[in-house]
Amino acid sequence: MGKEIKTMSIDELQAELKRLQENLCDLEDMHTFTFVKTSVHIGAEKAQNMQQEYDQECKEHNEKIAEVKALLQEKGIDYAPS
């Protein structure tokens, strides 16, 4: 999203939170499909690089989700930590 997260309204933050959570879910599904549900051969080095990229993307998504939840909490909207 192009708008600075700290200037978003509650509705925009809630939409951003939903978008981030859906993106994280999609990322997890894609990873599971690639590494668990297929029998495609991936070389060890490529698999390791893919795992590192996945870990980094998940970390970034989770940090953004936590940031949005914290901002919503500051605005009086309570979300349980995940």
Q: Which sequence spans correspond to the domains of the chain?
A: 5-74
CB 69 within 8 A of CB 17: yes
The answer to pTM > 0.85 is no
Q: Quick: pLDDT tens for 8-47.
A: 999 999 999 999 999 999 999 988 887 777 667 778 888 8
Both structure tokens of 14 = 């809630």
The whole-angstrom separation of Cα 68 and Cα 17 is: 6
